[in-house]
Amino acid sequence: MSIGSTTGVAIRGMRYIFMFLAGCAVVLLTAVILERQLPKPVSQRLSVSYSSSYARYLKLDESEVLAAIVRDFKPVHFRLQADWSSIEARQGEFDWQEMDRQIAQAAQSGATVTLAIGRKLPHWPECHDPAWLAGLSSGEIDERLMLMLRRVVEHYHNNPSVVRWQLENEPLFAFGSCAPPNIHRLRRELALVRSLDSSRPILLTDSGELSSWWEAASLADELGFTLYRVVWDRAVGYFSHFWPPAFYRLKAALVAPWVGRVVVSELQMEPWGPEGLNNLSLSEARRSFDVARFWDNIKFSRATGMSEAIVWGAEWWYAAKQEGDPSYWQAGQVLFGQPPAR
C-alpha cells in the first residue's frame, strides 16, 4: 500500500471517529436539554411488588406474607401478577380465586393495583407456564396466550382497584427461561388489551442498565426500568453497577417524547448471591444487601428523579424475619411510614 493510500485510510478513519464522537455529543446534549424539561417530582411514590409464586419459592405461606405486608406497611399501591400457571393450570379452565383474594387483600388498606399480565412476568423463570403448554407449537402457544389475556382483562376491567396493566415483563429483553423476544407478538398483545380496555395505561418494562429503552417506550403508555446496585455473576462474583442516578434520568429524558411517564419498575431491595434466595444464608445475603444498602438503594432511587419506584424484595424481608433477622422488615415499616412498635 502506498503512502498516499495509507494517508487516505487514516483520514477516513479519523473522519468516522469524529462523526461517532459528534453523534455522541449530539445525543448527550439532547438528553441534557430534555432532562431540564422533565418535571421534578416532589417525592417518589413507593409501591410494593408481590408475587405469590415467589413467596412459595421462599417456603412461605403466601397469603400470610401478603396479609403482613398490608398490615405492617400499608402501601398505597401494589404490583400483583397473574401467573399463567396459576390462573389456567388446566387448559381452558380459569381459576380466579387466588388472584381475586390478593387484589381484595391489597384493597383492605385502600391500595390500588398494577396487574402484571402475560406469559413473561416478574421472578425466575420469568415465563410461568402451565405444564400443558409443553405439547403445543409456538403458534398454538401464541393463540392460547391471546385467549388468556382476553380472559384476564375481561375479568378485571371492572375492578376499581386495578388502575394499570403491566403487559409482560421486559418483553424486548432476552432474559429468563422464555422464547426469544418478538416485537410482532408484543404488538398483537398491546392491540388486544387496548381494544378491551382503553381506560387504563399499559406499562412496559425494560432493563435499566442493558437497554436503550427506545423500542419499549415507543409502544408503551408508561415505561418501567429495573434498577440494580449489587449483583453476582458466576465469572466475576459480586460487583456493583457504576452508573450514577443521572444516567437513568438522562435515559428517561431521551425517551420522554415517546412515552407518558417513566418509573422504576424493579428497585432492588433484596440480595443477589451465588445461590437461590431460598437457600442463601443470611450471612451471605448481607454481602450484597444489608440494612445500610437498603437505605442506600432508596436514596439512589430517589436521586434518579423518577416519580414512582416499585420496591422488589418484601417477600424476602419476611423470610429473613422468619429466620431470625427482623431488621429488613423493620426498615420496611419505617420506609412506608409505619414505625415498628418498641
Question: pLDDT tens for residues 132-148?
Answer: 999 899 999 999 999 99
Query: Which of the residue ranges 12-26, 118-132, 164-178 would you say has the lowest mean pLDDT?
Result: 12-26
The pLDDT value given to residue 192: 98
Q: Residue 109 has what pLDDT?
A: 85
Taking residues 270-297, what's their average pLDDT? 97
Distance from C-alpha of 16 to C-alpha of 7, rounded to nearest angstrom: 14
Q: Which CATH architecture has domain 44-335?
A: Alpha-Beta Barrel (3.20)
Question: Confidence band (pLDDT; 50, 70, 90) for 39?
Answer: low
Domain ranges of the chain: 1-37, 44-335
- What's the rounded Cα separation, in Å, for the pair 132 and 297? 40
What dihedral do alpha carbons 286, 288, 290, 292 form, nearest 10°?
150
Say how far apart CA 199 and CA 156 lie, in whole Å: 12
pLDDT at 278 over 70: yes
pLDDT digits (tens, 9 = 90+) for 222-258: 999 999 999 999 999 999 999 999 999 999 999 999 9
Query: What pLDDT is attached to residue 285?
Result: 97
What integer pLDDT is reported at residue 48 of this predicted model?
A: 98
In this prediction the pTM is: 0.89
Three-class secondary structure of residue 199 per DSSP: coil
